[in-house]
Structure 1
Amino acid sequence: MPKLDSRAADYVKERMPMIGVGTYQVRSESILTDTIDEAFKLGYRFIDTAQIYRNEAVLGRILPDLLDKHSLTREDIFITSKVSPVNQGKGKTSKSVLKSLEELKMPYIDLVLIHWPGTSRLKSNHKDNAKFRAETYAELEDLMGQGKIRSIGVSNYEINHLETLLEQCRILPAVNQCECHPHFRNTQLAEYCKKKGIHFQAYSSLGGPDYVADLLKDEAINKIAKTHKTTTAVILLAWGLAQGYSILPRTEKVKRIGENWSAKEVKLSEEEMKSIESIDKSNKACWDPSVVV
């Protein structure tokens, strides 16, 4: 196999911060304004969005004023978006990314991911899922060549999806954004990504909307939190950072922005890391991409 173009991976390694502001399910203009305002004040420079989040236009309205308020420029921040499953396939991908650029009111997006290995309106076992994935990634490569996006990658890809992609693509995917937390460590996938030079990015670090309570109640994590005089949530985020994963905590509460940011100051001991590793229950809180062919 010929060596893949590493420009996207190099860009992410150089430019992408390790902690971002997640915006999943956050569409309120006032909430996004308040939380991102606080985030910029504290030092965050990374915002994660997606076409299916339906907040790109809101971000496009509020970011110019927030950047100006904090004496920042477009080049000072890192923006990730993701191609919706409904926009996968030849022609659709480019059109959707151009719309994202228009809504965000930006000349480029730092990182664009394929959000899901499957395509809308196709069953998970339909053979054309692979076809549309390939077409979508090829269009992202072209958009990167045009300077519309600076780096490209994927989200929710399993090893089999990545193996197929690496046989077809020209540009090495910079990132694979996947569910990862101590009850679902996703270790095999993370190690595969590391071996291939793909940065592993964790979402749902607190366990996901319907599972977060179970994870926050874990006795081992609570014990460590008490030792560090912080919250369980901060320990969960610090654990992700300790693995070398970038993290994307989302919140609608301004006070949580600072709490999440403090995770970078927490240094877990080797013993604490082993204690957390021992609680993996293989409990997946979000959707399962392994069913997509």
Structure 2
Amino acid sequence: MSQSGRVRPARRRAATAAVLLLGTVLVLGGCSAEQRDEWSRLALPEPATEETPLIGNLWIGAWIAAFAVGVLVWGLIIWAVIAYRRRGDELPKQTRFNIPIEFLYTVAPLFVLVPLFYFTADHQEQLTDTSQEPDLVVGVIGQQWSWTFNYLDEEVHEIGTINDRPTLYLPVGQTVRFELESPDVIHSFWVPAFYMKMDVIPGHPNSFQVTPDREGSYAGRCAELCGAYHQSMLFNVEVVSEQEYQDHVDGLREAGQEGIIEPPIRGAYDDEVLSEENTGGDHE
């Protein structure tokens, strides 16, 4: 092959790489500030509690470790492709093992797994620590297929149904402890903006606490496949000022929603079935 013939493919590859790089720059440059922030969080939503940095940093650290492993593995693959590419009709020298490479494969994962395990255990211990006295306690009951919220300090409640999504009100800047219970199957209490979720297990109460630090409306859901109407186990979270929180609690009291609901309670779907049966309605 002539010298010019070898140069042309190299130029084409360089031009292709330049076009891809330019396209990436243009795409990123066209993103909004909110989208760029989401990229910096690696797709995590905007945080809403004081505890989110613990999970956010662990999430980003895990991705960095994954990229490091990927770069190492791909680097070795590319090196092997180039160094041992076919030259003529003779095969490269065959060996049973390579001590340096096998040592690298043994030691390299330790540099990834040990720090990841350490920080995971450390952050998990901090996230599940409930030794600090909270400002308020909310009892959360996950039932098929909705949620019940008991404001234990105020002794009022809100019961959701399969067709009526409940709303959880929390005061900004105050530490809230969630006490989780289930009367039927395993659910999972998850508010994505809190970066925290925990299983709601029958006969095994769980608890964790967070401190919301940003007012706003957030979505909550069950993160555990819990039955036929799992997709209906949605709820809203409103992080509001202390006065708005108190006004909501007073509104529940005025609406007659006083007292604490104790599990087991009948599932929202079952209540509707019984209502239809008592009124002669048909239900498949």
TM-score band (shorter)? under 0.3
| Larger Rg over CA atoms | 2
More helix by share: 1
TM-score, normalised relative to structure 1: 0.21
Q: Which fold has the larger relative contact order, with Cα–Cα distance below 8 Å and residues 6 or more apart in sequence?
A: 1
